[in-house]
Every structure is written in structure tokens, then in C-alpha cells.
């Protein structure tokens, strides 16, 4: 379906950029040296033509008691000194550049490692959640059903009204518990994702949310988009969930739009969620720092894929969240 280059491919591209910078530096250095040589040659021709050295000698001879006749040789010594000084700076600059290159490569390697760890963490979390959801569904759900069946049996079989009432209350409590577990299951693992796929699951979420909140919600899917890997689909679903929760809680919006589109410059997905509410308060802008954990969690999830999360207040009111999820850095 799609190629997943290893992180080392991306790392291999970086030294390319570094070697380009080094060769640009070397080319500039050679150009400057040529200019200096041309200048010296031109000076030599002019000096020869106008006998500059002889004129200087003649001019300084009269000032011998000030030792100014030593000036030409002193200037030559100064030029040699400056040449040595310049050469030392070039060597220093090369060493600094090499050290910087190594540091940059180390920083990039650490960033890659960090991103892979974040991805692994998200995958482990989702696997755990799925396992927990399975356990809850199979164990808890079945026991609730059994309790309800027993309670109904007791209610039917007993002649004692107080016992029948008690059994009915047990039945109702077990039903409520079962409902609670079902809600928890939905939160642990969006059920629509498995059965419907991401786009239909987001559409269903959008419709449910619209009914619950009374805020209009429109979803624009990517035309003919290939299915995303499971963990990416869960991430996108969670991003939409948190953004919609925030709109309902903070935005005072009347409408929200969710758009999936391809990334302009790389393989991946851009998720854009725009509401027409009050937008982020200035002290929250642009990172949404402080306060809750929702935006921070969204940022972490996106960063796990080497992506970016942008929050912008839109003109005329409202907040636009743009999450870019490149799919090239996924581990094989
Ligand atoms: N769509 C939005 N419109 C206006 N303000 C928003 C919107 N989304 C988030 N915010 C602001 O950004 C803050 C941080 O959001 P975040 O989701 O991180 O935390 P929270 O929703 O307050 O709490 P939590 O998500 O942890 O339950 C919010 O408190 C709110 O002030
Ligand atoms: Mg929130």
C-alpha cells in the first residue's frame, strides 16, 4: 500500500545537506583566495609600473632616524602574520563546523529515537486499551447479563413481594452497570473504528455529537483515500474526539467542520477542525499551554508521528486546529 522507509533513510539525507554546506563553504573559500591572488598580482603590476617600492624607499630614507625606512619590511611581516592568523581562523571554523555537524546528527538521532519511543508508547497504550476492552466486554458484560437473568428469575419465581422488588432493583442496577461498562468500552476502543473504518467512524461520531450538543457538525473526508494503519486511525479518531469535546466545552460555537485532506508536500494526512466559536483566549494562544491536558495530549500524539499541530484563531471568530500526520516515518 505504501512504503515505510526506515528512520535511517531520513538520517542519511541529513549528512547530504551538511556536505552541501561544507562544499559551499569550501567553494567560497577558494573564490576568496583567488580574489586575493588577483589583487596581489594587480598590485604587483601597478607597483612595477609606477616604481612604488622605490618611491616609498626614497620617501622614507629621509626619516631614517625614526626608523621609518624599515616600514616596507615591517608591512611584509604584518602581511605574513595576517596570513597565518587567517589560516588559523579557517582551521578553527572548520573544526567548529565539524563539531556542529556531529552535534546536529546526534540531536537528529535523539529526536528520531524520541519519536519512535512516543509512537511505541501510543501503540502499547492502544493495545492495552484494546485488551482491557476485550476483558471488560467478555467478563464484566457476561456477568452483568447473568445477574440480570437471575434477578428476573427470582422476581418471577418468588411469592414474596419484597423479594420481587429487591430482585427488580438488582436487575435495574445490573442494567445501569452494563450501560456504564458499554460507555467505558466505547472510550477505551472506539467500536465504530473496527466495524466501519476511520472515515465512517468519524462521520458517526460527528452525527452523534451533533445530536448530543445541538452544534452543527460537517465532515469532509478525503476522496478515494487509502485506509490508514490501525494506530494512525485510532490517533486521528482521538484527535477528533478531543477537539469536539473542547468545542462543546469552551467554544460557544454553532458549527464545526472536520476535514481530511492529503498533506501538500509528503505522504500523509492533514486533519483540520474549524469551529466558529470564540477562539483561544489571547493568554492561551498559540500553544494552549496551561490548564487542561487535552491539547497537550493531541500535540504528543501528533509529535509521535513526527507531525505538527497548529492552532490558529480564525478571522471573524473561532479556532482552527490543523494536525499534519506524515506517514513516511512510521516504523516498519
Ligand atoms: N475550540 C476551542 N475554542 C476556544 N477555546 C478552546 C478550544 N479548545 C481549547 N480551548 C481552550 O484551551 C484550553 C486548553 O484545552 P485542553 O483541551 O488542553 O484542556 P481542557 O479542555 O480545559 O481540559 P481537559 O481536556 O484536560 O479535560 C481550554 O481550557 C480552553 O480555554
Ligand atoms: Mg479538552
Q: pLDDT tens-digit profile of 45-98?
A: 999 999 988 888 788 777 777 787 788 788 899 999 999 999 999 899 999 999
Q: Is residue 253 part of a domain?
A: yes
pLDDT for the residue numbered 192:
78
List, in sequence order, the alpha helices (H) in the chain.
7-50, 52-61, 71-135, 142-157, 161-188, 191-196, 198-213, 230-246, 294-303
Nearest CA owner, ligand 1 atom 5: 280
CA distances from 163 to 140, 145, 148, 218 (A): 25, 20, 15, 51
* Residue predicted with more confidence, 209 or 119: 209
Protein residue whose Cα sits closest to atom 25 of ligand 1 = 294
In a domain, 15, yes or no: yes
Number of structural domains found in the chain: 3
Give pLDDT, residue 33: 83
pLDDT at 247: 95
Domain shared by 312 and 214, yes or no: yes
d(CA 231, ligand 1 centre) in Å: 24
Is 102 in the same domain as 203?
Answer: no
74 Cα–ligand 2 center, Å: 75
Task: Please give the pLDDT value at position 331.
Answer: 53
Q: Is 288 in the pocket of ligand 1 (CB under 6 A)?
A: yes
Last residue of a domain, one of 163, 188, 213: 188
**Domain-embedded: residue 332:** no
Q: Which of 121, 151, 169 is where one domain is finished?
A: 121
Ligand 2 midpoint to CA 251 (Å): 11
Residue 274 beta carbon below 6 angstroms from any ligand 1 atom: no
Q: Report which bound ligand comes closest to the CA of 291.
A: 1
Q: Considering 140, 160, 188, which residue would you say is the last residue of a domain?
A: 188
Question: What CATH code is carried by the domain that includes residue 228?
Answer: 3.30.565.10
Which of 18-27, 49-58, 100-109 is least confident?
18-27
For cell 413481594, name the residue.
161
Strand, helix or coil for residue 206: helix
Whether residue 295 has its Cβ less than 6 Å from ligand 1: yes
- Distance between CA 7 and CA 113 in Å, rounded? 9
- Residue 136: domain span: 123-188
Task: Mark whether 261 and 319 lie in a shared domain.
Answer: yes
pLDDT in tens, 263-283: 887 788 999 999 999 999 877
CB atoms within 10 A of CB 187: 10
- Specify the pLDDT at position 329: 62
Residues 117 and 138 in one domain: no
Is residue 17 domain-resident?
yes
68 CA from centroid of ligand 2 (Å): 81
Q: Are residues 176 and 59 in the same domain?
A: no
Q: Indicate if 246 and 294 belong to the same structural domain.
A: yes
pLDDT at 5: 42
Q: Is 278 in the pocket of ligand 1 (CB under 6 A)?
A: yes
- What cell numbers appear for 126 in the block? 492502544
Of the ligands numbered here, which is closest to the C-alpha atom of 298? 1
Whether residues 155 and 45 fall in one domain = no
- Dist. CA 131 → ligand 2 center (Å): 26
Instruction: Over range 169-189, report the average pLDDT.
Output: 88
pLDDT band at 1; cut points 50, 70, 90: very low
Indicate if 174 and 220 belong to the same structural domain: no
Residues 53, 129 share a domain: no
CB within 8 Å of 96: residues ≥ 6 apart: none
Amino acid at each position: 500500500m505504501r512504503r515505510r522507509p526506515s528512520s535511517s533513510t531520513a538520517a542519511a539525507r541529513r549528512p547530504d545537506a551538511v556536505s552541501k554546506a561544507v562544499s559551499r563553504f569550501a567553494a567560497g573559500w577558494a573564490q576568496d583566495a583567488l580574489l586575493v591572488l588577483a589583487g596581489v598580482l594587480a598590485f604587483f603590476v601597478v607597483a612595477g609600473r609606477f616604481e612604488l617600492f622605490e618611491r616609498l624607499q626614497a620617501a622614507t630614507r629621509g626619516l631614517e632616524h625614526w626608523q621609518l625606512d624599515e616600514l616596507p619590511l615591517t608591512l611584509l611581516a604584518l602581511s605574513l602574520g595576517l596570513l597565518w592568523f587567517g589560516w588559523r581562523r579557517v582551521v578553527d571554523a572548520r573544526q567548529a563546523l565539524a563539531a556542529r555537524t556531529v552535534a546536529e546528527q546526534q540531536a537528529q538521532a535523539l529526536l528520531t529515537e524520541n519519536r519512535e519511543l512516543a509512537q511505541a508508547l501510543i501503540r502499547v497504550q492502544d493495545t492495552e486499551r484494546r485488551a482491557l476492552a476485550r476483558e471488560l466486554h467478555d467478563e464484566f458484560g457476561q456477568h452483568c447479563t447473568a445477574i440480570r437473568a437471575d434477578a428476573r428469575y427470582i422476581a418471577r419465581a418468588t411469592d414474596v413481594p419484597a423479594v420481587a422488588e429487591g430482585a427488580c432493583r438488582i436487575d435495574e442496577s445490573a442494567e445501569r452497570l452494563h450501560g456504564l461498562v458499554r460507555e467505558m468500552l466505547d472510550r477505551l476502543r472506539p467500536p465504530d473504528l473496527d466495524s466501519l473504518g476511520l472515515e465512517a467512524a468519524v462521520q458517526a461520531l460527528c452525527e452523534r455529537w451533533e445530536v448530543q450538543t445541538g452544534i452543527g457538525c460537517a465532515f469532509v473526508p478525503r476522496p478515494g483515500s487509502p485506509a490508514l494503519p490501525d494506530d494512525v486511525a485510532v490517533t486521528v479518531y482521538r484527535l477528533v474526539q478531543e477537539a469536539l469535546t473542547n468545542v462543546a466545552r469552551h467554544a460557544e460555537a454553532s458549527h464545526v467542520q472536520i476535514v481530511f485532506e492529503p498533506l501538500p508536500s509528503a505522504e500523509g494526512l492533514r486533519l483540520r477542525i474549524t469551529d466558529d466559536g470564540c477562539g483561544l483566549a489571547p493568554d492561551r494562544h498559540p500553544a494552549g499551554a496551561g490548564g487542561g491536558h487535552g491539547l497537550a495530549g493531541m500535540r504528543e500524539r501528533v509529535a509521535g508521528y513526527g507531525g505538527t499541530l497548529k492552532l490558529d484563531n480564525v478571522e471573524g471568530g473561532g479556532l482552527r486546529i490543523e494536525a499534519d500526520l506524515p506517514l513516511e516515518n512510521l516504523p516498519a
